[in-house]
Amino acid sequence: MTEKQEKILQAALELFARDGFSSTSTSKVAAHAGVSEGLIFRHFKNKEGLLEAIIKEGEVKARTLFADIVLESDPKEVIRKTIDMVLNISSNRADLEFWKLQYKIKWETEKYGEHKMEPLHLALTSAFTKLGYVSPELEASLLLIINDGLATRIALQKGFKCETLTSFLKEKYQV
């Protein structure tokens, strides 16, 4: 990938995250990236192609993020790392912007990437099973739903302090 190609992606990421996909014009992306507008279409074919490139990047990042959790053998660690994941993301500026965009895209395109979550869901189910929970599969679903709720707050509720809730959760699950 060339230097300007990366600049376009970075500019699109920033503007899409701030203003939304359909509120961001290709001319704005080009101006913000410091390139000509035509270059966007040369490299990404359409505006949609630009979005897809960003989504793909998100899928890769998600996989590497989950890998560390899924490979964990200690069930308590699986749960703890899942809870901490959202905390880690929220504490890093660049990561926060990136994942906020991924959620924004979900709401704008109305496609929920449930398949992306499946390995994590399986790992959590097995963890809750090992710990003797009565409904491990539902417990896993619930924890992921809590993470979705937390993500919503982190992204939209300015000044939301995530840490108090994550440590409360870790206490609850005794991890």
Partner DNA sequence: TATTAGAAAGTAAGTACTCACACAAGTAAT
Partner DNA sequence: ATTACTTGTGTGAGTACTTACTTTCTAATA
Closest CB to DNA among 32 and 121?
32
27 interacts with its own copies by CB under 8 A: no
25 interacts with its own copies by CB under 8 A: no
* Run of H or E including 58: helix 47-70
28 interacts with its own copies by CB under 8 A: no
Residue 21 neighbours by CB distance under 10 Å = 19
Residues 130 and 136: their CA atoms lie apart, in Å, by 9
* Distances, alpha carbon 139 to alpha carbons 88, 101, 159, in Å: 22, 27, 29
Residues 5 and 91: their CA atoms lie apart, in Å, by 28
Judged by beta carbon distances under 5 to 8 A according to partner kind, the member of DNA, its own copies, none in contact with residue 67 is none
Closest CB to DNA among 49 and 149?
49
106 interacts with its own copies by CB under 8 A: yes
Cβ at position 136, least distance to DNA in Å:
46
The answer to whether the CB of 124 falls within 8 A of the CB of 143 is: yes
Considering only residues 63, 91, 157, 163, which one is a binding residue for its own copies as defined by CB under 8 A? 157
The Cβ-side half-sphere exposure at 124, using a 13 Å CA radius, reads 23
* Distances, alpha carbon 97 to alpha carbons 18, 80, 100, in Å: 8, 23, 5
Site mask, DNA, residues 22-61, x = CB under 7 A?
x-xxxxx-----xxxxxx-xxx--xxx-------------
122 interacts with its own copies by CB under 8 A: no
Applying CB under 7 A, the residues found at the interface with DNA are 2-5, 22, 24-28, 34-39, 41-43, 46-48
